[in-house]
Structure 1
Amino acid sequence: MHTIIRQFAVSAAFALCAPYASAGVLNFDDIVGPNGFAAVPANYGGLDWSHSGLSVFTGEQAPFTPHSGQGRVTTDWIDGGPIVSTIHFLAPTVFNGAWFSGYSDSSVRFDLYAAGQLVANSDWHQLSNTPAFLDAGWDRAIDAVVVSTEFQASYVMDDLTFEDVAQVPEPGTLALFLAGLGLAGASRRRWFRIQKT
């Protein structure tokens, strides 16, 4: 009987925590434009891209290798285009990172902002034609991420990964839930012992 209770408790914990584990991944494959370029819609994927200066690139061209599918974003290729791109989250969000490829003489990094204040920087990531994941290196909520590079149009970014803070439980909430499960299991066990005597 104890095994059944234990299995039930574990199943309940997974069921209740499942919504917290969902992450969003933007792969840009659903944005297609003429000649392989298209503007990122202002509110694509629930994020604000209106001040990013980023466009979707779907053509095949080395060293801009996609991580998945064909869609990936890049800075404008016009002379004088941005080397810094800002993406705003419409709600506080935990930003995990993204996949990058590009020219090997360039690198990229993330600057993370919450309420207008810089809260973290990722490491600089050296680019190559093989996509590699750049981890944001920060597990708290932010409302904006800035992608920086030394040279305009030197990279493509793919599979941007993030989690909505509403989906991430507070550590105290999760601890309280697990403690409650433990107490319920202990009470149930004690009740069975009393019934046997």
Structure 2
Amino acid sequence: MRARYVLPCTCGQRHFVGPAQAGQEIHCRCGATVEVPTMQGLSKLERAPVERPRKRAGRAKWGAVQRLLLAGALVTVIGLGLVGYFYSIRPSPPDLGGLPPYDAWVLWQEYRQGPRGRLDWERHYDEHRSWHRRWMVFAGVVVGMGMLTMVSALMVPRPQPARRARPPGRRARRPPEAASG
């Protein structure tokens, strides 16, 4: 950043000048012409206060809210992926319509005599369905946690922008008084 210097006028106005203006003349509001000293003379002047560049209004940095929203969205997407996967591999009951006649008759005889225990294919189907139900509940909990994280992110209070203080020495303008006659 280039150095800036304060060049006073006889009227009290302060002008900010840089090394590129050394040796030139500038005009004050009062009408006076002020000569800018040479480079050597500039170094004897008071340095101007350094103004820090303001942050761009268009680019907001990520805070806790945005991080929580992103984390919640990722967890929700992962949970929805799990739900979709487990839904696609859900067990289906065996198709008994395609049994040969003799096997259908044997199965009918077993059911007709009453339950003496579970058949192997029934036990296998029930175990698979139970396993599938547990994993679907787990995936649903993951989706719920992701959604809860996103909702909680929206409840985080946002920092309030700092109010600008009036510069010292500046007062509020008073309305001009009516001329008395």
- TM-score, L = length of structure 1: 0.28
Give the TM-score, by structure 2 length: 0.29
More strand by share: 1
Return the index of the structure with the highest Cα Rg: 2
